Amino acid sequence: METALDTVRPEVVSDDVERRSSRLRPATAWTLGTVGIDAAMLVLAAIAVVVGGNAAGVASPPFSATVGFVVLCLTFYWSRGLYRLRFRLHTLDDLRAIFIATTVAAMIVLSGRVLLGSTADLATETARLWAFALAYVSAGRLAWYWSHQRARVVGESVRPTLIIGAGRVGALVAKRFLGNPELGYRPAAFLDKEPLVDTFGELGVPVVGASWDLDEVISRFKIEQVVITFSTAPDEVLLRIVRRCEDLGIPTAIVPRLFERMPALTQMEHLGGLPLVAPRAAGPTGWQFRVKYAFDRVLSVCALLVLSPILIPAAIAVLVSMGRPVFFRQLRIGRDGRPFEMLKFRSMTGVEEIAPVAPEGDLAPGGIEGEDRRTRVGGFLRATSIDELPQLFNVLRGDMSIIGPRPERPEFVEDFEQRIYRYGERHRVKSGITGWAQVHGLRGRTSLADRAEWDNFYIENFSLWLDLKIALMTLRTLFKSTATVE
């Protein structure tokens, strides 16, 4: 069937391309802005090294070495993809990449000066330049990212987005964008000849036509991003959409088939023009998790010793205010569906804590019945998450991990496994005190499907670096929570 995509006049294409190329594209603007910030911070760092060195009577690197260092830093930042516009700002990942690139640049400058026979105090000079550059560039990036996220949240620098395919996956993409305004993508419309979801009723985003309406919709809604999800349209129609968007200079993103099994680490090979994508998911029974669980027990011992000035007074406060027992024990389901007793400090009067409110629909159980029995001590322990610290004993015993999916009660697990997509797969690993879902706000009465999605992402993309990121994000969350306690 002939569509508007097949009959677009060449002069219309030319006019659209000229109109869009006359203004700076978002990706180009982002790249230029980020390069400018990094370059400015590196120059300021070099000036600070010279000024501080002169004030302290310490020698500074020569001008040529400093210029070489700045150029190398910017080059390595570029090679590590730090100037690409992405859907999410990966702050911790980018700071790690900046650390590595800056360190490599400093080592090259140091090696070059050694080979050229410099007799100065090379190690001290280079270390000062490296330290100042790392601090200034990191601070500049944090301020740059923060300003962009704040601007997007209040509706500035938002990119109207067109989603191709009004099905379950297309609706999920729109839901993600709407729930994360800091990303800067606002779903404006769907295109789908045979929509499967009432996107306007559920999300407030209408289906405004089919593939042949692409040009009119892009013009009417001023679309700046297109996301192609699953659709009943033939593949050749979707390919024509991609080519048309390329002609118009509009970035296109594609949700791949079997996206549930697409970890961050993938290997791509080509057989002629045929791509083969080989997922490289971390195996729950592989060596990475064995190392993780060994670290867990070592870290739990260290944490118990370091946190003993908090644990001991908390236990005494519970004992004095509520009597015995100090710990509340609750049966939970852990790795491979095995039950275990999870420990918490008691926060309510009475020996037994009343069960959580039963789940409704896709929402997780949450909100404790009998909140009136919570003591002031218990309220403080809950607000500061100190009541969770006894789970370090669960980690020491091997029932839990420090980081992993949060465990659930057995009476709920069987029900969830039957009706929540991929819920049971989270039991491939040990449960955790904190996890990838929790640090992204999925706590309490939040979506079970979203929790399962984030937990399975964590399992398939596990690395020690990811665990460290979750630990840092947990600390940030705790500090925010503590700040709100009166």
Assign residue 241 the CATH number of its domain: 3.40.50.20
In a domain, 263, yes or no: no
In a domain, 295, yes or no: yes
Torsion of the alpha carbons at 291, 292, 297 and 302, rounded to the nearest 10: 110
End of a domain among 114, 131, 153?
153
As a whole number of angstroms, the distance between CA 167 and CA 164 comes to 9
Q: Which residues of the chain have pLDDT under 70?
A: 1-24, 119-120, 350-362, 366-373, 480-486
As a whole number of angstroms, the distance between CA 176 and CA 185 comes to 10
Task: Note the pLDDT of residue 9.
Answer: 41
Same domain as 165, residue 144: no
Q: How many CB atoms lie within 10 A of CB 31?
A: 16
How do strand 159-164 and strand 225-228 relate by DSSP bridges?
A: parallel
Task: Note the pLDDT of residue 482.
Answer: 47
Same domain as 236, residue 215: yes
Task: Note the pLDDT of residue 392.
Answer: 95
In a domain, 275, yes or no: no
Same domain as 142, residue 52: yes
As a whole number of angstroms, the distance between CA 327 and CA 394 comes to 12
Same domain as 169, residue 89: no
In a domain, 325, yes or no: yes
Same domain as 241, residue 209: yes
End of a domain among 153, 178, 203?
153
Residues facing residue 345 across a β-bridge: 327
In a domain, 291, yes or no: yes
Q: How many residues does the chain have?
A: 486
Determine the structural domain holding residue 66 and report its residue range. Answer: 26-153
Same domain as 339, residue 199: no
Same domain as 138, residue 167: no
Same domain as 167, residue 58: no
In a domain, 173, yes or no: yes
Residue 280 in tokens: 């490289």
Residue with tokens 């990094």: 38
Task: Note the pLDDT of residue 215.
Answer: 93
Which residues contact residue 328 at a Cβ distance below 8 angstroms, ignoring those fewer than 6 apart?
Answer: 343, 344, 345, 346, 347, 353
Give the global pTM: 0.79
Task: Note the pLDDT of residue 257.
Answer: 86
Q: Give the 3-state secondary structure of 211-256.
A: HHHHHHHHHHHCCCEEEECCCCCCHHHHHHHHHHHHHHCCCEEECC
Task: Note the pLDDT of residue 21.
Answer: 47
In a domain, 145, yes or no: yes
Answer whether 133's CB lies under 8 Å from 42's CB: yes
DSSP string, 89-154: --HHHHHHHHHHHHHHHHHHHHHHHHHTT--S-HHHHHHHHHHHHHHHHHHHHHHHHHHHHHHHHT
In a domain, 260, yes or no: no
End of a domain among 238, 255, 272?
255
Same domain as 102, residue 45: yes
Taking each continuous run of H as one helix and of E as one strand, the counts in the chain are: 16, 10
Same domain as 419, residue 353: yes
Same domain as 461, residue 313: yes
Name the 3-class secondary structure at 191: strand
Same domain as 312, residue 170: no
Q: How many domains, the chain? A: 3
